[in-house]
Every structure is written in structure tokens, then in C-alpha cells.
């Protein structure tokens, strides 16, 4: 049967919405209609308009926008914020509206049988006039609201979908949903266009809004399953973050780079790997920002480009700190070898932060990137969103063969681990712990390399001091146990020697 | 009554009649024919000869449907007298049509009714 042949030979149309074609494994089924369903405020109209805008901007594919709800004037105005100049495109014959928005005198007084013949004639006329390849109908709910829940409306919508297929255009139809999770659309319109369904969600989770997109089905073709976060940016529109769709294809380098501290390099077995992600964890004041500062200075000294995202301290503070340790951030920035980007975590959602950070990285092309601190970003997100953010950022950086140093603040002064670590420790290549050690009424600092993927490293917990020239790592704490658990206990040196001897003897008694 | 072409209507210079209707239909289907017949009957009965009727086939004049933002066929648009009103469907429900259009019956009784 010819239908079957069509099903197997579905061609994809890359639609150009950033990230969409990746999760759709190529794009929307070409020449078909896809239903895009979502609750109020889930960005259906933006998706629909962007579908046309990207077609015009990147492929010179013209589009027709049938609006049942907002007036064309409103749509032109609303979309200007995304730099989509619809008025200009209309003048160039690339975009046409079919205005089916409600008119003041347009009450549904039905006096007998009817059809949507006028709408169909206008739609075909518009498609022919601008030689459209893409069509949008936004939204079906408004048609039902106007004409009532009648079998005639269903039959007519079905006819429109068939007509669109005959015209050979790729179409997006939007429909309302009442709940984020439940039936696909309010008027169960999906049965008409059931071949392809995409769902947009805007979920309130832990008092934070989270937008996701899910391809529910593309009949007869493959696509990525599950929800993918997306964000809406001024000047860009919808940007999907296809995090879990990304492949672990990064090469792994064995080239070492300096941490900025020769002693720490030695503890790590010769420095960090060039494309590795390092997590530095410690309580407030243990020296995380100092490690970041040294990491940047070490890069500068090796003639690398360095980028610092600071979410906790201002530029002035960071620069003053640096000066205190003999590091001249200002001069480094002046040489265009360093860029410091300071932002409050609360100014944007994590998805927005990620897109912005990626843009800065792409523009500045650094060799190493530091984020101080991840914990600050965690505050503005859900746990799932945070994990996705870290995966997105790390894989992006690894892809570009950059080293990344992230800091994380532990909630307690002594020992402990932060939520940050619990969720991202498996993503990082190296973990360095900075801990307070209480000894005889004095707070001292300890550092240990907990994990160093692909390399031998020092297993000691070493004491370190901070002075006017930075960080100095000294000898291991030999007679203290329980540092990591936050309960340091002193043991006599005799006991230390005795335990060392036990292990030195080698095999265990049980064999 | 007179039946003007859609183009002629747009460029008319003569004064408008007391009642001006536009009826949008799709092709020459039985539904279209029924709507036209129903409208003629209602007008004749209620308005005598003091009306003008423009019939527009959306397949031939889609741009006119676009101008008037017509979605459904048949759609009856009452242009004159104001306020503009729209009635959807094939106009089989005579009472609703009359009620919606608010047409005043002609002062003089119309021609003898053909129907009982």
C-alpha cells in the first residue's frame, strides 16, 4: 500500500529551533502536520511563530500563519522582541497571515449547516500567494470556543489537515491542555493529527518554573524520548537544551596543565588533565576562591586564556582578593587573557544562565574556565534542573577541550558534604576537598585529592597555609583521624606508627 | 432586488440601499444553493424589494473572504444598516436569521406570499 511506503519513507524537515532537530533526530516529518499541545503560557505561539521565522531566516522557506486567537497586530508586536520582523517579511512576500481572530460582530449564531470552506479557501490562497512551505494554525482551542464542541468542527479540522497534506506543506497546529500531565489536549483533537504530537510544559516545581518539551510521538520514525528543558531568550526565542540526548564522545586528553600551585600539581600526580572537570569542595573560608584565583593565574602564566564566572563576589572584591595574594587580575584582563563575569545567580533561571555562559565561552574561547560557586547556582534551581545544568556545562566544555574548575560550598564548617557534590560528583573528573581541622584550640586547614580520574594521586590529607603569596601546602596530618567526617581526633604518634606497621606487614591474616 | 458583482460593489458610487447583505459560500454545492434560496426567501418576505444581495464564492474570491475575515461558509454579513452582524450556516432557521439581523419589515406589506 502506498500509505505504508510513505510511512517508511518519511523525510525530516530540520526546523531550526535550537536543539529541536537534535531531540527530534532530524526535525519534523516533512509534509505532515504536527500537533503542539500545551497549557496556557507554555509558549505554543512562540514555538509556532519561531517555526516559521527560522524557516524564513535560514532556509528561505516561506510561511503562513493562521491565527484563531491573537490578532496579527498583536503577534507582530509580541515577536519583535525575538528580532522577528514579521512586517518586513510580509512586505517581502515571505510571511502571510490568515486572520481568523475573533471579530467584535462575530458571535456564533448558527442557523443551519456550515463548513470551514472560507477558511480553507483563504489558507490555500495564502499558501499559493507566498509559495509557503510551512504553515501554522494557532490554536485549535479557539475554533472550538467560537463554534462550539460540534462534530462539524472536528470533521472540518480533519479536512484541513488533509488539505495541508495535499498542499505538501509542513504544518504545526497548536492545541490547549488543561493539565500538565493528563490527556493530550482539551478537545481531544489529537485524533485528527495523531501522527505527530509534541508537548510543551511549564511546570511549577519547588516554587520554580521549569519549561520542558517532549516529543510524544512521531509515527513511524524515531525520536528522543522524555522531557527536555528549554528556555525563551530575548532576541533568540525558544532554545532547547538537549542534555540527555548528548553523546559522550569527548576525547580524553593526557596532557597536564597546572593548577596554579606546584604543590597541588604534585598531589594530583603532575597537574590537572587539560580537558578535565575539577570540583573543589569546602566550607566557607577554607580557600576555594583562592584556588580559583591561583587556577586563573596559573593559566595566565602558561599563556592560556582564562574565564571566571563569579556568582558570589563582585569584581572589586575578587580583584582586591587577588591583589592580597599578589595576583593582578586587572592586568590580566587588560592583556585580554582573562575575563571575569560577575552575576547574581537570581537574575535568571539556570537554563538562561547556561545559554549565556555557553555564548560567553564561545565568544571568548578560553582554555580554562572557573565557576565560583556552583552552590550559588544551585539555589535558583531544582535538583534535576541543577544536574542538567552541570551536565550541559561540563559536556560543552569538554567538547571544546577546556579545563573547568568548579567550587562548591559545604553547609557545615567541619566535614560534611553539600547537595551540590551529591549530585555532580560522578560527573567530575577530579575532586579536591578543603577542610577545617581543629587542633588544640586552633583552626587549621587541610587539603586532599579525593579523586583523580585516570591518574595516580597523593592520598594524604595535607595541611596548608594561606599567606600574602597564596597557598602553601605542607606535610600530611599524621596524627589526626576523622578529618573528613568532621570529628578530628588526635592519636599518639606511637599509635600511628603501630597502625602503619600493621599495613606494612602486607597480607591480611585471613589470607 | 439587484445582484451586484463583488467587484462592482467595491467601486460603487450610487447610494447604498436600505439593506445590504453579503453572502459567502463555497462553490456551487447543495448547501450553497440552499443558503442562497433561504436568504432570498427571507428577504423577499421581510423586506420586499428594498435590499441588495451580493453572493461571493470564496473559491473564486478568497481575498474578499480574507478582507472580511470570514471563516465559515455560508456566512451572511449584514453590511447596511449598522451595526454589522454575521450569521453562520445555511439560514434554514428563519426565525433566528430574522432575530439576529434585526431587520425591520418593509413598511408596506410585501408581495403575496408563495408559501402557506
Backbone angles phi, psi at A247, to 5 degrees: -100, 145
- For domain A256-479, give the CATH number: 3.40.50.300
pLDDT (mean) for A49-75: 93
DSSP symbol at B73 = B
Cα-trace Rg, chain B: 14
Sign of CA dihedral A471, A472, A476, A480: negative
For B92, the closest of A100, A111, A116 (CB atoms) is A111
Tell me, rounded to whole angstroms, the distance of Cα A115 from its chain centroid: 45
pLDDT of A153: 86
| Cβ atoms A199, A214 nearer than 8 A | yes
For chain B, what are the domain ranges? Answer: 16-101
For A105, the closest of B59, B84, B97 (CB atoms) is B84
pLDDT (mean) for A107-131: 90
The string of pLDDT tens digits covering residues A264-318 is: 999 988 899 888 889 998 888 888 999 999 999 999 999 999 999 999 889 999 9
Q: How far is B42 from chain A (nearest CA, A)?
A: 13
Do the Cβ atoms of A114 and B84 come within 8 Å?
A: no
Measure the CA–CA gap between A141 and A154, rounded to whole angstroms: 11
Measured between CB atoms, does A109 come within 8 Å of chain B? yes
Helix (H, G, I), strand (E, B) or coil at A133: strand
For B71, the closest of A100, A105, A125 (CB atoms) is A100
Do the Cβ atoms of A125 and B93 come within 8 Å?
A: no
Over pLDDT 90: what percentage of chain A?
38
The answer to whether ipTM exceeds 0.85 is no
Residue A404 pLDDT exceeds 90: yes
Residue B109 pLDDT exceeds 70: no
Range scoring the smallest mean pLDDT among A149-163, A495-509, B49-63: A495-509
Q: List CB contacts (< 8 A) between B24 and chain A.
A: 118
Residue A44 pLDDT exceeds 80: yes
User: Any idea which residues of A carry the catalytic annotation?
Assistant: 69, 312
pLDDT (mean) for A450-472: 85
Q: How confident is the model at residue A10 (pLDDT cuts 50, 70, 90)?
A: confident
Measured between CB atoms, does A98 come within 8 Å of chain B? yes
Measured between CB atoms, does B41 come within 8 Å of chain A? no
The arrangement of strands across the sheet holding A62-67 comes to A95-99, A62-67, A132-138, A170-176, A33-38, A196-205, A208-218, A227-233, A237-240
Residue A419 pLDDT exceeds 80: no
Measure the CA–CA gap between A156 and B87, rounded to whole angstroms: 18
Q: Which of A27, A3, A16 is nearest to A53 (CA)?
A: A16
> A118, A124, A128: which to substitute to probe chain B, counting the most B Cβ within 10 Å?
A118
- Cell numbers for B28, please give them: 456551487
Q: How far is B1 from chain A (nearest CA, A)?
A: 23
| Cβ atoms A184, A149 nearer than 8 A | no
Q: List CB contacts (< 8 A) between B23 and chain A.
A: none
Measure the CA–CA gap between A362 and A343, rounded to whole angstroms: 18
Q: How confident is the model at residue A50 (pLDDT cuts 50, 70, 90)?
A: very high
- Cell numbers for A138, please give them: 494557532
pLDDT of A378: 85
pLDDT of A293: 93
pLDDT (mean) for A3-29: 77
Residue A184 pLDDT exceeds 90: no
pLDDT of A137: 95
As beta bridge partners, residue B25 has B57
Residue A499 pLDDT exceeds 90: no
User: Among the ranges A238-247, A257-266, A424-433, which has the highest mean pLDDT value?
Assistant: A257-266
pLDDT of A244: 58
Measured between CB atoms, does A64 come within 8 Å of chain B? no
Fold exhibited by the domain A2-240: Rossmann fold (3.40.50)
Kindly list the distances between the CA atom of residue A441 and the CA atoms of A413, A437, A438, A478, in Å, as whole numbers in the listed order.
Answer: 15, 10, 7, 18
pLDDT of A171: 95
Helix (H, G, I), strand (E, B) or coil at A171: strand
Measured between CB atoms, does A234 come within 8 Å of chain B? no
Q: Which of A258, A257, A322 is nearest to A290 (CA)?
A: A322
For A115, the closest of B26, B91, B92 (CB atoms) is B26
Q: List CB contacts (< 8 A) between A103 and chain B.
A: 69, 86
Q: Pinpoint the alpha helices (H) of A60-116.
A: 72-79, 86-91
Backbone angles phi, psi at A159, to 5 degrees: -65, -35
| Cβ atoms A78, B60 nearer than 8 A | no
Domain covering B16-101: architecture = 3-Layer(aba) Sandwich (3.40)
| B74, closest residue in chain A (CA to CA) | A114
Q: List CB contacts (< 8 A) between B82 and chain A.
A: none
Q: How confident is the model at residue A219 (pLDDT cuts 50, 70, 90)?
A: confident
Q: Which long-range contacts (CB under 8 A, 24 or more apart) does A85-91 make?
A: A86/A49, A86/A53, A89/A56
Q: Which of A324, A331, A322 is nearest to A294 (CA)?
A: A322
DSSP A276-341: -EEEEEE-TTSSHHHHHHHHHHHHHHTT--EEEEESSS-HHHHHHHHHHTT--HHHHHHTTSEEEE
DSSP symbol at A294 = H
pLDDT of B80: 80
Residue B112 pLDDT exceeds 70: no
H or E stretch covering B111: none
Do the Cβ atoms of A111 and B100 come within 8 Å?
A: yes
Q: List CB contacts (< 8 A) between A101 and chain B.
A: 69
Measured between CB atoms, does B104 come within 8 Å of chain A? no
Q: How confident is the model at residue A72 (pLDDT cuts 50, 70, 90)?
A: very high
pLDDT (mean) for A356-377: 91
As beta bridge partners, residue A65 has A97, A136
Q: List CB contacts (< 8 A) between A116 and chain B.
A: 71-73
Residue in the block written with cell 560534611? A416
| Contact residues, B window 2-21, toward A, CB-based 8 Å cutoff | none
Measured between CB atoms, does A10 come within 8 Å of chain B? no
Q: How far is A105 from chain B (nearest CA, A)?
A: 6
Q: How confident is the model at residue A417 (pLDDT cuts 50, 70, 90)?
A: low
Residue in the block written with cell 505561539? A45
Measure the CA–CA gap between A474 and A461, rounded to whole angstroms: 10
Measured between CB atoms, does B91 come within 8 Å of chain A? yes
Do the Cβ atoms of A114 and B91 come within 8 Å?
A: no
pLDDT (mean) for A121-146: 92
Measured between CB atoms, does B83 come within 8 Å of chain A? yes
Do the Cβ atoms of B75 and A118 come within 8 Å?
A: yes
| B60, closest residue in chain A (CA to CA) | A121
Residue in the block written with cell 595566565? A300
Measure the CA–CA gap between A172 and A196, rounded to whole angstroms: 10
Q: What is the mean pLDDT of chain A?
A: 85
- Cell numbers for B59, please give them: 473559491
| Cβ atoms A283, A413 nearer than 8 A | yes
Residue A7 pLDDT exceeds 60: no
The string of pLDDT tens digits covering residues B89-107 is: 999 888 888 888 776 554 4
For chain A, what are the domain ranges? Answer: 2-240, 256-479
Q: State the virtual CA torsion across A433, A436, A439, A441 in degrees, nearest 10.
A: 180
Q: How far is B61 from chain A (nearest CA, A)?
A: 9
| B94, closest residue in chain A (CA to CA) | A111
Q: Give burial (CB, 10 Å; 0-12/13-18/19+) of B50.
A: middle
Measure the CA–CA gap between A35 and A175, rounded to whole angstroms: 7
Amino acid at each position: 500500500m502506498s500509505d505504508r511506503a510513505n510511512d517508511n519513507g518519511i523525510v525530516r524537515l530540520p526546523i531550526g529551533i535550537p536543539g529541536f532537530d537534535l531531540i527530534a533526530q532530524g526535525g519534523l516529518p516533512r509534509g505532515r502536520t504536527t500537533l503542539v499541545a500545551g497549557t496556557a503560557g507554555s509558549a505554543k505561539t512562540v514555538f509556532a511563530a519561531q517555526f516559521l521565522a527560522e524557516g524564513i531566516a535560514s532556509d528561505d522557506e516561506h510561511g503562513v500563519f493562521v491565527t484563531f486567537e491573537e490578532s496579527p497586530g498583536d503577534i507582530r508586536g509580541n515577536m519583535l522582541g525575538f528580532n522577528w520582523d514579521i512586517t518586513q517579511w510580509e512586505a517581502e512576500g515571505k510571511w502571510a497571515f490568515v486572520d481568523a481572530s475573533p471579530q467584535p460582530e462575530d458571535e456564533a449564531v448558527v442557523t443551519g449547516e456550515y463548513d470551514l470552506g472560507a477558511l480553507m479557501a483563504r489558507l490555500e490562497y495564502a499558501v499559493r500567494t507566498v509559495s509557503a512551505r510551512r504553515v501554522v494554525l494557532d490554536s485549535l482551542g479557539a475554533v472550538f470556543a467560537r463554534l462550539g464542541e460540534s462534530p462539524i468542527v472536528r470533521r472540518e479540522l480533519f479536512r484541513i489537515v488533509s488539505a495541508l497534506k495535499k498542499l505538501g506543506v509542513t504544518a504545526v497546529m497548536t492545541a490547549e491542555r488543561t493539565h500538565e500531565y493528563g490527556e493530550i489536549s482539551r478537545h481531544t483533537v489529537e485524533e485528527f493529527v495523531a501522527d505527530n504530537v509534541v508537548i510543551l510544559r511549564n511546570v511549577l516545581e519547588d516554587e520554580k518554573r521549569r519549561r520542558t518539551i517532549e516529543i510524544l510521538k512521531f509515527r513511524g520514525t524515531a525520536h528522543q524520548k522524555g522531557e527536555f528543558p528549554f528556555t525563551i531568550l530575548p532576541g533568540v526565542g525558544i532554545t532547547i537544551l538537549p542534555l540527555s540526548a548528548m553523546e559522550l564522545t569527548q576525547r580524553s586528553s593526557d596532557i597536564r596543565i597546572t593548577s596554579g600551585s606546584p604543590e597541588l600539581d604534585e598531589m594530583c600526580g603532575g597537574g590537572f588533565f587539560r580537558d578535565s572537570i575539577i570540583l573543589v569542595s569546602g566550607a566557607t573560608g577554607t580557600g576555594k576562591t583562592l584556588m580559583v584565583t591561583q587556577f586563573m593565574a596559573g593559566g595566565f602564566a602558561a599563556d592560556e586564556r582564562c574565564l571566571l564566572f563569579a556568582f558570589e563576589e563582585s569584581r572589586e572584591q575578587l580583584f582586591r582578593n587577588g591583589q592580597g595574594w599578589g595576583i593582578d587580575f586587572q592586568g590580566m584582563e587588560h592583556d585580554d587573557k582573562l575575563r571575569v563575569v560577575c552575576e547574581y545567580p537570581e537574575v535568571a533561571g539556570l537554563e538562561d544562565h547556561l545559554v549565556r555562559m555557553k555564548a560567553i565561552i564561545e565568544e571568548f574561547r578560553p582554555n580554562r574556565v572557573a565557576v565560583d560557586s556552583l552552590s550559588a547556582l544551585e539555589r535558583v534551581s531544582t535538583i534535576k534542573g541543577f544536574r542538567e545544568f552541570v551536565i550541559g556545562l561540563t559536556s560543552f566544555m569538554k567538547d571544546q577541550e577546556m579545563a573547568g574548575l568548579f567550587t562548591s560550598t559545604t553547609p557545615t564548617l567541619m566535614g560534611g558534604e553539600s547537595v551540590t557534590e551529591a549530585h555532580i560528583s560522578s560527573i567530575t573528573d577530579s575532586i579536591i576537598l578543603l577542610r577545617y581541622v581543629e587542633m588544640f584550640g586552633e583552626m587549621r586547614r587541610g587539603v586532599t585529592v579525593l579523586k583523580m580520574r585516570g591518574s595516580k594521586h597523593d592520598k594524604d590529607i595535607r595541611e596548608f597555609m594561606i599567606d600574602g603569596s597564596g597557598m602553601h601546602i605542607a606535610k600530611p596530618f599524621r596524627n589526626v583521624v576523622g578529618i573528613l567526617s568532621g570529628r578530628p581526633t588526635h592519636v599518639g604518634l606511637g599509635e600511628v606508627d603501630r597502625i602503619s606497621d600493621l599495613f606494612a606487614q602486607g597480607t591480611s591474616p585471613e589470607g | 432586488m439587484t445582484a451586484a458583482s463583488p467587484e462592482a460593489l467595491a467601486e460603487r458610487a450610487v447610494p447604498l440601499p436600505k439593506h445590504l447583505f453579503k453572502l459567502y459560500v463555497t462553490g456551487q454545492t447543495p448547501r450553497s444553493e440552499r443558503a442562497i434560496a433561504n436568504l432570498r426567501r427571507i428577504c423577499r418576505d421581510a423586506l420586499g424589494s428594498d435590499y441588495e444581495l451580493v453572493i461571493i464564492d470564496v473559491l473564486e474570491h478568497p481575498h474578499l473572504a480574507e478582507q472580511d475575515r470570514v471563516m465559515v461558509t455560508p456566512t451572511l454579513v449584514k453590511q447596511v444598516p449598522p451595526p454589522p452582524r454575521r450569521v453562520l450556516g445555511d439560514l434554514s432557521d428563519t426565525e433566528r436569521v430574522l432575530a439576529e439581523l434585526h431587520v425591520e419589515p418593509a413598511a408596506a406589506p410585501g408581495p403575496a406570499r408563495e408559501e402557506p
